[in-house]
Structure 1
Amino acid sequence: MNDILKETDDFILQLFKEKLPNTFVYHNYTHTKRVYKSINEIIEDSQIDVKDATILRLAALLHDAGYIETREGHEEVSARIAKEFLESKDVAKDTIEGVMKCILATKFTRAPEDKMEEMIKDADSSHFGKDYFEEASDFLRQELKSQDVKKYSPSDWRDENIKVLVEKHQFYSEYALKNWQKQKEENLVDLLKSKKKEKKKLKKEDIKAQLKMKYKDASPDRGIQTFYRTALKNHIKLSDIADTKANILLSVNAIIISVTLANLFSKFDTNPYLVWPTAVFVLSSAVTMILAVIATRPNVTRGEFTKEDVINKSVNLTFFGNFHKMELSEYQWAIEELLKDRDYIYSSMTKDLYFLGKVLDRKYRILRVTYTIFVIGTVLSIFAFGLSFGMADITVEEVTKLVTPEV
C-alpha cells in the first residue's frame, strides 16, 4: 500500500504542475499535503484498520484533483480522476469506491455519514483549527479575487470567516474536537477582537468627523475669526487702492508741471497772455500733488507702551506703531499677556480695525478733494488758455507752435 500512496503523491504533484492554473494559490499541492498531514494525525489517534487508513490517505491526496477542470462541482471531477488513476494501478474496487465516497464527502455543505467521512472532512478543514489559519485564509481570498469569483475587502473577508466559523463549520472526529477545536475558538476570538477594534476605530473617527463638522458649522470662534480676517483684508485692500490713486495723481501732475515749465515759461516775454492760464494750470497741479502726498503721508506714533497699558488693555499690540521703540523682551511679555486673554485679543483686533477705518476715512476724504481740485483746475486752465488765446487773437498754427517743444 505504501507504493500506491507514493505513486498517487507523484501523480497529483505532476497533475497540478502541468494542468493547475497559477491562480490557484490556495487549492494546490501545498494544500493537498496539508490535508494529507492532518489525516495522518487523525489516523494515528484513531482505531481503524490499514485498509481504511489507506482509503483516507488516498482521498486526501486526490480530493482536489478536479480543480484542474472546474471549481464548481470539482468533487465529482476529483472522484472521476481518482477512479481512473486507481483503476490504472489495479487498486481493489472496494478501495476505489471508498476513496470516491470520501472525496465526495469533502463537499462543504454535505454532512458526513460515517466516521471516515467525518475524518476526511475534518482533515480538509483542519486549517480552521491551526495557528496558520489567518495566512491560509488570506491565500483563499486572493485565489477568489484572482479568478474573478468574488472580491472581498479585508473587513468583508473577516466577517465572512466569522460567519463560517460560527454558523457553517464544525469538527466531527474525536481527535479534531480534542486537538483543533480550542485553536479554532482562539482564531474566532482574534477575528472578533479585530472586528471590535475596527468598529471602535470607525466609531471614534465618525464621532471626530461629526464634532469637527459641528465645530465648523456652529463654533462662534470660527465665525468671529472669519469676520476679522475678512474685514482686515478688505481694509488693507482699500488702503492699497487709495495709495495707488494718490501715486497716479502724483505722477500725472509731475509730468504736467514738467512739460508746462519746459515749454511755456521761456515764452512769457513774447507772449504775456500765457502767464495767468499757465499759473492756474501749474497751481492746480501743485495743489493736487500736495494733497496726494498728504493723503499717503504716514502718521508719527510714539512707539512705546507701559506695563500699565497692557494690564489695563489700553494698548493695541497688533499695530507696529505702538511698539517699535520697545525692547524685544518687553514686547514678548506683552504678547504673552495678550494671548492669555481671549477678550483682549478680540479687543486689540477691534481697535486695529477701527483705526484702520479712521485712516481710510482720512485718505479717501483727502483724495476726494484732490480729484475735485485736479478736475476743476484742469477745466479752469483750459478755459483760461482759451480766453487768453481769444483775447490775443492768435491762430491755431501759432498755438501749436507755442506748445510744441523747440528742437
Structure 2
Amino acid sequence: MNYYTLLDEVKQYVTTFFHTHANDKLVYHNLVHTENVVNAAIEIGNHYRLNDLDYFIVVTAAWFHDIGYYTEPARHEEKGAEEAAVFLNRKGVDATTVETVANCIRATRLPQNPQTLLEKIVADADLFHLGTAKFAELNKVIRREFIELHNIDISKEEWRNKTIRLLETHQYHTDYCRLLLNDTKAKHLEKLKAKAAEKNPEQKNTVPVSPIPQPPTTKTKLTPLIQEEPDEKGKRKNSRPDRGIETMFRITSANHQRLSDMADSKAHIMISVNSIIISVLLSVLLKNLEQFPQYTIPAMTLLTISLVTIVFSILATRPNIPSGTFTQTDINEKRVNLLFFGNFFRMSMDEYTSGMLQMMDDRDFLYRSLIKDVYSQGVVLGTKYRRLRISYNVFMYGLIVSVIAFSIAAIVTQ
C-alpha cells in the first residue's frame, strides 16, 4: 500500500470536511489548528525517524483528531476515531492499523495518558503550542471559542487560573518535546502566576511561581555548562549558556548524527549492490566474451560504472582524521575545537583536561567551540552527501546506458 498517496487522500478528505461543516463558533478547533497539529506531528515523527507505516498512522491521527468537534464536541476524540475508521476501512486499510490510528486520536483526550510512542507523538503534537511563542495568542482564541460554545462569560481571571492548572498538570511525553518546549512552557506558567498574584495579591502565597514538575526519565538531567558567578558589584552574572541554546546545539548535533548514519547506510547499499554486479561480470560474462564479442563494450561500460560508483561511495564514508594535537597557543587564541576527538586524541589526559577547563571558564570560547563543532559536522555532511549524490547519479545514468548498450548489442547479433 502506498501510504504517501493515501495521506494525500486523507488530507483532501479532512480539508473538504472542514470547508463543508463550517462553524463560526469554532475559532480555534478548525482547519488551521489541525494543520498546525499535523505539522507538529510531522516534526516530532521525523525526529524519531518513523517508518512509512508509523508515519502514516501519526499524520492520519493528527488530521482526524479534532474532526469530531463539528458533530459531537463533548466526545470529539471518539467521534474523530470513528470518522477515521470509516474512511480508512473504505480505503482497504487493515484493521490493526485502523485501531492504532483510533488509539492515537483517543490519546489526545485530557488528561492525556498515551501508552505507545505513536500515541505520545500525537498527544504532544496536539498541545505543542503550550511551549511555543504563540501560546498567549492562541490561549485567547481558545477562551473566545469556549465562551461561544458554552454561552458562558468566563472572566479573564478564572480562565487564567484554569490555564495555570493546565500548565501545572500537563507534561510532554516525548523526550524531543521536553527538550524543545519545556523551558518556554515554564516561562508561560511563571508569567501567568505572576500576573495572577498581581491582580489578586491575597493569592500571592497560594499561587507560587515554580517550575513545571518534570516527568521521570532515564536520560541524564540537563545541567548548565557553566555556573553563574557573582561579578565585582555583587550581582549575579549570567555566565552560562541559556538552556534554549543548549537544546539547540543538542538537537542540531543529534540531527547531524542521524543524517550521517543515513548517508553511511546509503553508501553501504551502493557498495554492496555494485560489488555483486562486478562479481557477476568477472565470473560469468567476461569469461565468455570470446564467444559473445558483441557484449564487450556493454560489459566494460557496466564494469566501469560499478567501479566508479563504489569509489565515490567509499570516498563518501572514508574518515578524515586531523593531526590529533593542539598547542597552548591554540587554546589561548581559541582556535581549536576540543569537542572533536580528531583535535586531541594524541594529547595526554592532563593537557586535554587543562584545555577543557580553560574552555569551560570562558563563555566565548565555549560558544565558539560549540559553533565550530556544529559547523564541522555540517561541512563533513555536505562533502559526504555530495559524493554520495555523484555515486547515485553515476549508477543511475550508467545503468541506463549499459542496458541500452546491451539491448543494441543483442539486436545487432540477430
TM-score (norm 1): 0.48
TM-score (norm 2): 0.47
